[in-house]
Structure 1
Amino acid sequence: MVLFSRLEQLYEEAKSNRWFRYFTVFCRIVLALGFLPSGTVKIMGERFTALSGNHPLGHYFDALHLTGYYYTFIGIAQVTAALLLLIPRTALLGALIYFPIILNICILAYATRFEGTRITTLMVLASLYLLCWDYDRLKHILPVKQSNSDGYAAQKKPLSNRFPFLFFGCVFTAVASVIVINQFLYEIRPGNSLEECQNGCPGSKYPKACEVFCDCIHNRGKPLATCLTEFERAKNSRRN
């Protein structure tokens, strides 16, 4: 209970800090810019990415493109979320729509070993931050004990100009961690093209197996699971 009260106190301090507000606006703008182009492309009925149809994610986007108005609906949802984020009064609604969409995209990127895992992870974290920023409005529907504050006390306080070094240090650490962890998360990735995939083979521990994997993905268009099995088989044959 003491911990929860302390967290609420820290939250109120953050809400009355000018630098936190700048960061919140920054997150809203960046997230909106991330969805406006991709959503508009879907509304126009065009293929979203230049990835080859043989790429694991390319398979998915080709199928998604053929779903007709469902494809358009996703585009409308993305553009709507982006526009709502840009309007202060509707930013919370935009964040609520945005979060499940970007979380789905992030999981998809990891499942297909797409190179965009880093940026989508950061977008998920930024979207989650925006939801936390509006905790004073969301807490009324959350299973937590309500405090006696009216939720607007922070807005009545004069804005503090003290720079939150600890918070931005944590932001920097989170960004660096996402980049570093993703660098070593997978032994091999398909890359966005055959050339990009093969460029990683010379520095690989198993260059021949890497070439087999790249050929399996980009030339023969086999499923990711099948190509990973061939990669492991090529590694084992190399050892023997």
Structure 2
Amino acid sequence: MNRLTKFDQFYLKVKHNRWYWYFSIFCRVILAYAFVVAGIVKIMDEKFASGLSEIHPMGAYLTALHHTGYYYPFIGIAQILAAILLLIPRTVTLGALLYFPIIVNICILSLAVRFEGSLVTSPLMVLANLYILVWNYDRLKYIMPFKKIADYGIVKKPEKYNNKFPFLFFIGVGLTFGVTVLISQKGFDIMPRNSMSDCKKQYHQTKYETIGNEFCECVHAKGNLLDHCLDEFKEKKERIDNN
């Protein structure tokens, strides 16, 4: 066996801790549930987030996606397959590998169009997926481009887990959740929101109320490109700040 690195030593310690194991199961179940729900919608050929206007940035994307023929249910099948593989202990690594590119794509899309419906959940799902991948590092290390790896094989489930509660880890989980929520709420100058009324509440009774309303009308009434509406809002906001 090659000499264990500090990471390998820490990894083996984590794999023998009951609370890290519980958290891996929690992540698997939550991720699987999310993709089963989303996948069934697509297989049933129902439009995802059907309440969004078709001229909303995300609504326009989802409408176009809904009209892609068999590609739309194919995505649903891939999501459900990834979910099932995640739930089966012997195939969890394969499920996590299939899940990862799908959820990263959803996350980037949510950030790009500032869709509040998944602005919090999709980054957290990416992190949960990464946790599962790291949890299964003992399987993944053989396909990673490392020159040297510690060949301690697949880590077997211990007969007795260490019950020490990892306070720092779960404090970090809580802080990550809080920071993600904070960024989703405060990380953008303005967001299209899901409706005109919600959009206009962002700068209600402030000096930016007029240009904020104009942005909302640009997105929800005129159906202009989000980047165009954002550029207009930014220019107007800079003029107000400079006066």
The answer to whether the Cα contact below 8 Å between 1:208 and 1:234 also exists between their aligned partners in 2 is: no
Write the distance in 2 (CA, Å) between the matches of 1:142 and 1:179. Answer: 33
Corresponding position of 2:175: 173
Write the distance in 2 (CA, Å) between the matches of 1:104 and 1:92. Answer: 19
Percent of aligned positions that are identical: 48
Write the distance in 1 (CA, Å) between the matches of 2:203 and 2:92. Answer: 45
Write the distance in 2 (CA, Å) between the matches of 1:35 and 1:215. Answer: 33
Corresponding position of 1:38: 38
Q: Which amino acid aligns with 1:33?
A: Y
Write the distance in 2 (CA, Å) between the matches of 1:216 and 1:174. Answer: 34
Unpaired runs of 5+ residues, structure 2, are none
**How much does 1:148 deviate?**
3.6
The answer to whether the Cα contact below 8 Å between 1:53 and 1:62 also exists between their aligned partners in 2 is: yes
Name the Cα RMSD after superposition.
Answer: 1.8
The answer to whether the Cα contact below 8 Å between 1:209 and 1:232 also exists between their aligned partners in 2 is: no
Write the distance in 1 (CA, Å) between the matches of 2:151 and 2:76. Answer: 41
Give the TM-score normalised by structure 1. 0.93
**How much does 1:208 deviate?**
0.8
1:74-93 per-residue CA deviation (whole Å, 9 max, x = no partner) reads 01101111111111111111
**How much does 1:205 deviate?**
5.0
**How much does 1:156 deviate?**
4.2
Give the TM-score normalised by structure 2. 0.92
Give the number of equivalent residue pairs: 237
**How much does 1:158 deviate?**
2.6
1:17-74 per-residue CA deviation (whole Å, 9 max, x = no partner) reads 1111110110001111111111111011111112111111111111111101111110
- Name the SS of the counterpart of 1:117 in structure 2: coil
Corresponding position of 1:77: 78
Alignment of 1:47-196 (within 5 A): 47-49=47-49, 50-115=51-116, 116-144=118-146, 145-152=148-155, 155-156=157-158, 158-196=160-198
- Name the SS of the counterpart of 1:150 in structure 2: coil
- Name the SS of the counterpart of 1:162 in structure 2: coil
Corresponding position of 2:203: 201
Write the distance in 2 (CA, Å) between the matches of 1:165 and 1:181. Answer: 24
- Name the SS of the counterpart of 2:120 in structure 1: helix
Q: Which amino acid aligns with 1:45?
A: D
Write the distance in 1 (CA, Å) between the matches of 2:110 and 2:19. Answer: 32
| Structure 1 residues 148 and 35: CA distance shift in structure 2, 3 A | closer
- Post-superposition, which runs of at least 4 consecutive aligned residues in structure 1 deviate over 2 A? 154-158, 181-184, 232-240
- Name the SS of the counterpart of 1:103 in structure 2: helix
**How much does 1:171 deviate?**
1.1
- Name the SS of the counterpart of 1:92 in structure 2: helix
- Which protein is richer in helix relative to its size? 1
Corresponding position of 2:214: 212
Q: Which amino acid aligns with 2:191?
A: R
Q: Which amino acid aligns with 2:185?
A: Q
Write the distance in 1 (CA, Å) between the matches of 2:207 and 2:152. Answer: 59
